Amino acid sequence: MKYIDIRSDTVTQPTQEMREAMFKAEVGDDVYDEDPTMKKLEKYAAEVVGKEDALFVPSGTFGNQLSIFTHCERGNEVILDDSCHIVVHEVGAASVIAGVQLRTINSDNGVMSPKDIKNRIRKGEEDLHFPSTGLICLENAHSNGTVVPLENMKEISEIAHKNEIPVHLDGARVFNAATYLNVDPTEVTQYCDSVMFCLSKGLCAPVGSIVAGSKDFIQKAKKKRKLMGGGLRQAGFLAAAGLIALEKMRFRLKEDHENARYLGERLSEIPEISLNLDDIHINMVFFTINEDINFREMVSFFLEKGIKINPPENGEFRFVTNYWVSKKDVDYIVETMKEYLKK
C-alpha cells in the first residue's frame, strides 16, 4: 500500500534520478580523501552557503554536535534558544560529546533577544566561578516551523563577534528559510561561522547533512568526525544523491510551502481544530484539537486510511508536507480528519 506520510520531511524517498546517479556514482575511499563524487558535493555545498569549505556527515544531529565539539573546549558554555532542536531533540549530546553546558534563553518563535544574549555571555578568565561562553547557536528555519528574521541574526552575530565568540547555525532547513524570505541562502548563512544543513529533509536525499565553515574549522572538524565514527569510505554513492538535492530539489521547496499553507487553511475551517495561519512559514503545520480524544486511536485510524501521522507532542500535532505529498493528498488528509472527528 502506498502511504501519504506527513510525519516529517525526513521520510522523503530518493527520486528516480537520484537512484540512477547513486548506481552510476564514481567512488573512492573518502577517509583517504579519494572519493571524487564526495569532493564535488562538498565543494559545491560550500559555495551554495558562501563558506570556504564543507564536510559531509551522516545526520543533522551529528553535524550540530560535531560543530559544537569543534568550536568549544570542555567546560565551555553554549548560549541557545530553549526550544531549539539541539536542546529539545538531540538527547543531551552536547554534554556527552563536547563536555559543554547549555545555557538556554526563552525565545519568541525562535527569535532570541540580542540583549538577553549579551547579558548571558560570561568570561571565565574574569571570574573563577564562571565558565566561558564558547559558542552561540541559532536555528533557521526553526524546528517550530517559523523563520527567524535576518535582522535578528545580524544583531546576535555582531554581539557574538564583538566578544570573540563564534556563531553556529542549525540550518537543517536553511533552504526553506531562504525560500520563505525569498533570498539566496548566503543571505542567511552570512551571519554564522559554521552552518549545518540537511540533504535528507525535504530534498529527498536518502542520507546525510553538510557542515560548512572556514577551511581551518573544517580541517579540525574532519578529525573530530573520525573520532565520532563519521569517517565513511565509499560515500560517493550518498554524495551523488546529495548533489541532485542541492542542484535541483532545493529550488522546488516553495511548492511544499504552498501545500502546507493550503493544508493549514483547510484545517482551520474545522471547528475542533485550533491553529495560527501566521505561523505557517515553511512546510509545517502545527495545530491542536479541542476535543478529548484517544491519540493512539487517531493515529491508527489515519494509518488504516493510508496516512502516516505522529501523535501530538505536548498536546500539539505537526503535519509536514514534502515532495511526495500533493495538493490532492492534502484534500484527502483534511477529509480523513473530518471523518475521524465525526466518528
Map out the domains of the chain as residue ranges.
4-9+252-342, 14-249
Give me the amino acid identity at 127.
D
Q: Which residues contact 231 (CB under 8 A, 6 or more apart)?
A: 30, 31, 225
pLDDT digits (tens, 9 = 90+) for 273-296: 999 999 999 999 999 999 898 999
pLDDT at position 122 = 97
pLDDT digits (tens, 9 = 90+) for 267-279: 999 999 999 999 9
Pick the CATH number of 4-9+252-342 from 3.40.50.80, 1.20.120.1200, 3.40.1360.10, 3.90.1150.10: 3.90.1150.10
First to last CA, the chain: 24
DSSP string of 234-253, one letter each residue: STHHHHHHHHHHHHTGGGGH
Note whether 4-9+252-342 and 14-249 share their fold: no
Taking residue 113's Cβ as centre, other Cβ atoms within 10 Å add up to 16
Q: Which of 247, 312, 318, 245 is nearest to 286 (CA)?
A: 318
pLDDT at position 1 = 76
Pick the CATH number of 14-249 from 3.40.50.620, 3.30.70.270, 3.50.50.60, 3.40.640.10: 3.40.640.10
Task: Name the one residue in this structure whose C-alpha cell is 465525526.
Answer: 342
Instruction: Please check whether residue 179 is in contact with residue 9, taking contact to mean a CB–CB distance below 8 angstroms.
Output: no
Asked if omega into 141 is within 30° of 0 (cis), the reply is: yes
pLDDT at position 114 = 98
Task: Name the one residue in this structure whose C-alpha cell is 565514527.
Answer: 229
> How far, in Å, CA of 244 to CA of 15, rounded?
9
pLDDT at position 43 = 98
| Residue 73 DSSP label | P
pLDDT digits (tens, 9 = 90+) for 208-222: 999 999 999 999 999
Under-50 pLDDT residues of the chain = none
pLDDT above 90 as % of the chain: 97
pLDDT at position 126 = 87
Residue 336 backbone dihedrals phi, psi, to 5 degrees: -65, -40
